[in-house]
Structure 1
Amino acid sequence: MSGHNQFALLRQRRFLPFFIVQGLGAFNDNVYRQAIIGLLFYLGVAESERTLYTNLAPALFILPYFLFSALAGQIAEKLEKSRLIVITTTMEIVIMTLAAVGFLTESLPVLLVALFCTGLQSTLFGPVKYSVLPSVLRPEELTGGNGLVEMGTSMSILTGMIVGGLVFTLAGTHGPIVAATAVIALAICGNLAARMIPKVDAGAPDLKINWNPIPESLAVLRMARKQKSVRNAILGVSWFWFVGTILTAQLPSYAVTNLGGEPTLYIFALALFSVGTGVGSLLCEKLSARTVEIGLVPLGAFGMTAFLLDLYFARAGEATAQGLSVTQFVHQTGSIRIIVDLLGIGLFTGFFVVPLFALIQSRTPKSEMSRVFAALNIQNSGFIVAAAVLGLLTQRLLGWTIPQLFLALAIANAVVAIYIFTIVPEFLMRFLSWVMVRTLYRLRPHGIEGNVPDEGAALLVCNHVSYMDALILSATIPRPVRFVMYYKIFNIPVMRWIFRTAKAIPIAGAREDPALMQRAFDEVDAALAEGELVCIFPEGALTRDGTMAPFKSGVEKILERRPVPVVPMALRGMWSSMWSRRDTRLGRMRVPRRFRATVEVVAAPAVDGHSTDAAALEAQVRTLRGDLA
């Protein structure tokens, strides 16, 4: 493993060429679209005709997503992925050559045809864009990798819009030549980078392609709905596009009418949102401690709502000044608040969307990944169109101002977030556990990467020190874990809801409740049969004095039925932290001096389940724990 943060991926061939390709693709698309708008002004097209073209262009670009996403998902599933990326970037060269002809001949119909073809090429690239990441990244790298991709996409869109908008402004009469040259050169660079992407195996090479788009679109949409958490993660991503579309579509008019700026102030406002999104995307890995931490999703949702609300109250009416430059705007009273709001909306948007992408990737079978992302693209397209139409109708028919639209968006965002978290309580559960763990402890994982398997069944065995042990372990292990825990701990108020939502398995002693004990062993075996991770605390109870108790035979019963690999783990530093039994119950209720204790989570290489026993595992865990109870 090269380094321990997402930026190390930018030095590795398995990620860097792909990152360059997707960044250049987003950059070139936006250079092209903005250059078309620049050409309209260059040709002196009448405002009514210009409005027609500027509204027609997004529709032509997005139409292929509705028509061909299902086909694109099947192709991405069937073909080796690096080969498909080379094919799509070669298509981009051909399409941009057609676009260059349109610029040089100043033919808007040719440019619009090329724009439709660009949408088609983006449609084919879409499913492979995110389905390739789980094939080249480890589970603990998914959040960081997605953060880099979202940051790169956000920055590429922003810089592409700026560069495309300046082509005709700076080049003057040479604008058509500069635009034609730029789009072809960028397409060629993307194709060259694509040829450096290592081979990535097809998800389903034997898949038989259904060429009928309507039934296949319905089929991939049904496929994406099979698992509730994935289905609602997709809903969350589509909502992100809805919010982003409404917000960015209003920024040009908002910058002039409500901020009192020149048209160029729009770019500044868009840059604030884009930079915030990029920073939020990058921070996800740090905040999640390299796991797929969906607890960040509620944080992102409520943060978006808070800053959207404040943006409404910061400037609810029209600006008193007009024609302000960026510098003049920054020096206006109240402008800092608006700047912070735009940055904050972008920041929490990053927190919201990156874990959702990582969740979809981590819980979707690789043989279905591309088709699930094709379904995501279909749904995204619908939400984008709905956002554009709704934004237009609320202002034209209802007479809403842009700040009022932002207020409605803030309220709608809160309602949608609450809806998602209600039907999938795992999101809120992970948020609560994330807040508790990050507030109470400083975690230091060792050996998790490489020792806890990336896929397949395994049994994790660990010493048992405090009531928070399960939450500590789940915060450091990239994959979901089914914890077996003493039923009295499972039934602690508040914690019970968290444990039940996390699908923990309550267990009792043979003398206390033999039926519950048997159900627990049956559930453990079923989970292992499904290829899940199961964690048990073989001591059977919390330590009362900081020392480890002998491991009980339950671990041997589990392995006798299903001898899966066993990963020895140890918690170090928990005895001197909150919620251990070091103090009396009253003492545990106080905020003690060991608040924010440093806790180490250590894992050893997996051992063969056929050849180990409770005593051997106990010895390994004792060695891992060392003197730091």
Structure 2
Amino acid sequence: MSQTKNHFALFTERRFWPFFGTQFTNLLNDNVFKNALIFLFSYQALTGNHVQASTLINICAAVLILPYILFSGYAGQFSDKYDKALVIRYVKLLEIAIVIVACFGLYIESNFVLISALFLLGVQSTLLNPIKYSFLPQHLESNELMRGNGFMEMGNFTAIFAGTIIGTILMSYPDGNRYVSVAILCITAFGWLFCLRVPRTPPTDPDLKIEWNPFKENWAVLKLVAQNRTIFLTVLAIAWFWFFGSVFLAQVPSYTLLYLGGDKQVVSAIYGLFAISIGLGAMLCDRISTQEVEVGLIPFGMIGLTFFMFDFTNRDAVIVSEQLNLLNYIQTKGIRAFIDTIGMGMFCGIYLVPLYTLIQKRTPISLCSRVIAGNNIIGAFFMVLASIFAIVMVHLNFTIADILWCTSVATLILTLGVLPAVPEFFLRFIAWILVNTLYRVEKEGLDKIPLKGPAIIVCNHVSFLDPVLIMAFCKRPIRFIMWYTYHNIPVIGWLFKRAKTIPIAGDKEDPSIKQKALDDAVAALRNGELVGLFPEGTLTKDGHLGVFRGGILQILEQEPVPVIPIAVRGLWGSFFSCKHGRVMLHFPRNWFKNKIGIVAGDPLDPDNFTLDECKDKIQALRGDRA
């Protein structure tokens, strides 16, 4: 695989653009056809058959979700067992047949045939969906995944918005059935041409035995998701996005017409801004995160989403009698609702992309498709819950504004719940905020930290910010060994405990705490984790490296693993160092946008490890910049 420097260069490379085009046309086709049917059935309601039309519209929403619940297990298995490019081509052949059936249904105007075709398109999309996220790790470099996922999400929501507009407009013409038929046939043809250029992608688990019982396999992939706590909570976080999105998109038309006082043009503008903004937020992730998965963006996205959702929702709003077109609405009521919509969309994108990238990074490649399949099942279930939630709220006489407000409150509660439940998200968020607002950071050699397997991270200790800096730019969680009294500090101590830091004391203070710390560090390494320590054992008082203590030798005697030397540069003299007095109790000097650095060296052989060699390596990495 080759790396790209130009932000949009992936669209010029075969390893990405054919796959992007295949997925884009597939989603576009689904939405053109679905929204054409919704318009068709809505027109039937105008002719007098309200009950049948309402039932058919609700069925349209259900038949595209149901296949994800029923057949995602199959989709994950096929994607892991077979060449993904071949699976894509067979599924696209199926799409051609389904679209022909759909065109026949439009020709004879049979509701049964049309609903059946929509259901089959849902099945076809279900079979493709796990490939959408398991294909990319096999063709993109690690530092391209955020960008690739951002482009995919941008394409997804652009296709949804475009499909909504195209399907509705085409069906509004007198010969709408014919126009829609031509449109979906053309989109299908382009999708087939794209899929022929998708590069071969070797199966990740060719010996997998297919389980043909859908319920048994669905349960198996759900258990697979639940095995890893971080992955399971990540999947639930993605599912909440679909819950939120389903509630928002379902309630926006009525909320806009009844409470905002905008007509269908305003509704379309809000839909369009929301979809496009999600895509922009998704693309922005790559810029913000410097091309690496940054889980600290997840709480950032949730906080921003909650803020703009609260501002968008006005519980005290009253029903208005007049609906203004787009131009009159802007002139009369301003653009606040549109700014809120853009904010919600962008923060949704910032929230969503790191979640999918985290699944790709933390899941073995041989299981990735099945984990994504489990994610699809849970996501579909949450979308159904969203519909049930809205129905129950309506029957309890809550207004549409109340439904949106309650969804905002639930998102806020979820945000506050996720922070302690997944401390990595919160700590990386704090680290990301501190590092990206206070300093300009130069990074070098961090790819020498292994993506998998145990290792010990050793670093010079200049400031209280040292572990935060390392945490902010390491792709994996690190269990730092910290002085035991830090764990007794209110709030901060609780965070340290949630981050599974290892408390340590000296032989004079409490030998039992020290021995337990060494035992915990060895256990963490045997569990394949990273352990971080500062061999000086205390902050430098003069900016120079102090004496390295022998605790690391005792750890290596029991568990010989690679030792990664790291040096932080430029923090001596900062607010978080001892240069000007006690840490954080002196007046800050040169703390805003000051240039600092973090440098990693080659791994040291544990069998030949010495404290002097380690100290010399860190000194060489640090240079003259303390």
TM-score normalised according to structure 1 size = 0.90
Percent sequence identity over matched residues?
Answer: 39
Tell me the matched-pair count. 623
User: Is the 8 Å Cα contact of residues 290 and 478 (structure 1) preserved in structure 2?
Assistant: no
User: Is the 8 Å Cα contact of residues 258 and 315 (structure 1) preserved in structure 2?
Assistant: no
User: Is the 8 Å Cα contact of residues 247 and 387 (structure 2) preserved in structure 1?
Assistant: yes
Deviates more, 1:375-384 or 1:213-222: 213-222
Secondary structure class of the residue paired with 2:314: helix
Which amino acid is the alignment partner of residue 416 of structure 2? I
Which amino acid is the alignment partner of residue 409 of structure 1? T
Which amino acid is the alignment partner of residue 112 of structure 2? P
Is 1:373–2:376 an aligned residue pair? no
Deviation at 1:34, TM superposition (A): 1.7
Report the counterpart of residue 183 of structure 1 in structure 2.
184
Report the counterpart of residue 285 of structure 1 in structure 2.
286
Q: For residues 64-84 of structure 1, give each alpha carbon's deviation from its aligned partner in whole angstroms, at most 9, with x where no partner exists.
A: 112112222222232233332
Is 1:357–2:360 an aligned residue pair? no
Cα distance in 2 for partners of 1:315, 1:31 equals: 36
Deviation at 1:117, TM superposition (A): 0.7
Cα distance in 2 for partners of 1:614, 1:276 equals: 52
User: Is the 8 Å Cα contact of residues 576 and 584 (structure 2) preserved in structure 1?
Assistant: no
Which amino acid is the alignment partner of residue 376 of structure 1? N
Which amino acid is the alignment partner of residue 430 of structure 2? L
Report the counterpart of residue 418 of structure 1 in structure 2.
416
Secondary structure class of the residue paired with 1:485: strand
User: Is the 8 Å Cα contact of residues 431 and 471 (structure 2) preserved in structure 1?
Assistant: no
Is 1:336–2:335 an aligned residue pair? yes
Cα distance in 1 for partners of 2:517, 2:7 equals: 39
Cα distance in 2 for partners of 1:602, 1:291 equals: 17
Deviation at 1:571, TM superposition (A): 0.9
Q: For residues 113-161 of structure 1, give each alpha carbon's deviation from its aligned partner in whole angstroms, at most 9, with x where no partner exists.
A: 1111111111112222223334444444443433332222112211121
Deviation at 1:425, TM superposition (A): 4.0
Deviates more, 1:471-480 or 1:52-61: 52-61
User: Is the 8 Å Cα contact of residues 428 and 472 (structure 2) preserved in structure 1?
Assistant: no
Is 1:219–2:220 an aligned residue pair? yes
Tell me: CA distance 1:181–1:38, structure 2 relative to 1, closer, same or farther (3 Å).
Answer: same
- 1:604 aligned residue (590, 597, 601): 601
> What is the 5 A alignment of 1:54-65?
54-65=57-68
Report the counterpart of residue 611 of structure 2 in structure 1.
614
User: Is the 8 Å Cα contact of residues 293 and 358 (structure 2) preserved in structure 1?
Assistant: yes
Report the counterpart of residue 427 of structure 1 in structure 2.
425
Report the counterpart of residue 319 of structure 2 in structure 1.
318
Deviation at 1:7, TM superposition (A): 4.1
Is 1:409–2:410 an aligned residue pair? no
User: Is the 8 Å Cα contact of residues 479 and 499 (structure 2) preserved in structure 1?
Assistant: yes
Deviates more, 1:605-614 or 1:200-209: 605-614
Report the counterpart of residue 574 of structure 2 in structure 1.
577
Which amino acid is the alignment partner of residue 408 of structure 1? C
Secondary structure class of the residue paired with 1:258: helix
Q: What is the RMSD computed on CA atoms of the aligned residues?
A: 2.8
Cα distance in 2 for partners of 1:20, 1:91 equals: 17
Cα distance in 2 for partners of 1:472, 1:135 equals: 30
Deviation at 1:294, TM superposition (A): 2.8
Cα distance in 1 for partners of 2:460, 2:55 equals: 68
User: Is the 8 Å Cα contact of residues 3 and 141 (structure 2) preserved in structure 1?
Assistant: no
Secondary structure class of the residue paired with 1:313: coil
Cα distance in 2 for partners of 1:532, 1:142 equals: 23
- 2:543 aligned residue (546, 551, 564): 546
Cα distance in 1 for partners of 2:583, 2:444 equals: 33
Deviation at 1:536, TM superposition (A): 2.7
- 2:512 aligned residue (511, 515, 535): 515
Report the counterpart of residue 108 of structure 1 in structure 2.
111
Report the counterpart of residue 481 of structure 2 in structure 1.
484
Q: For residues 381-433 of structure 1, give each alpha carbon's deviation from its aligned partner in whole angstroms, at most 9, with x where no partner exists.
A: 121122123323423x2333322221122122223333344444443343334
User: Is the 8 Å Cα contact of residues 291 and 477 (structure 1) preserved in structure 2?
Assistant: no
Cα distance in 2 for partners of 1:341, 1:206 equals: 50
> What is the 5 A alignment of 1:21-420?
21-40=22-41, 46-48=48-50, 49-169=52-172, 172-173=174-175, 175-313=176-314, 316-322=317-323, 324-333=324-333, 335-395=334-394, 397-420=395-418
Cα distance in 2 for partners of 1:312, 1:116 equals: 34
Q: For residues 462-504 of structure 1, give each alpha carbon's deviation from its aligned partner in whole angstroms, at most 9, with x where no partner exists.
A: 2221111111111011222222334355555443333322222
Which amino acid is the alignment partner of residue 400 of structure 1? F
Ranges in structure 1 where 5+ consecutive residues have no aligned partner: none
User: Is the 8 Å Cα contact of residues 304 and 348 (structure 1) preserved in structure 2?
Assistant: yes
User: Is the 8 Å Cα contact of residues 573 and 580 (structure 2) preserved in structure 1?
Assistant: no
User: Is the 8 Å Cα contact of residues 222 and 374 (structure 2) preserved in structure 1?
Assistant: yes
Cα distance in 2 for partners of 1:508, 1:138 equals: 42
User: Is the 8 Å Cα contact of residues 42 and 168 (structure 1) preserved in structure 2?
Assistant: no
Cα distance in 2 for partners of 1:524, 1:135 equals: 33
Deviation at 1:313, TM superposition (A): 2.4
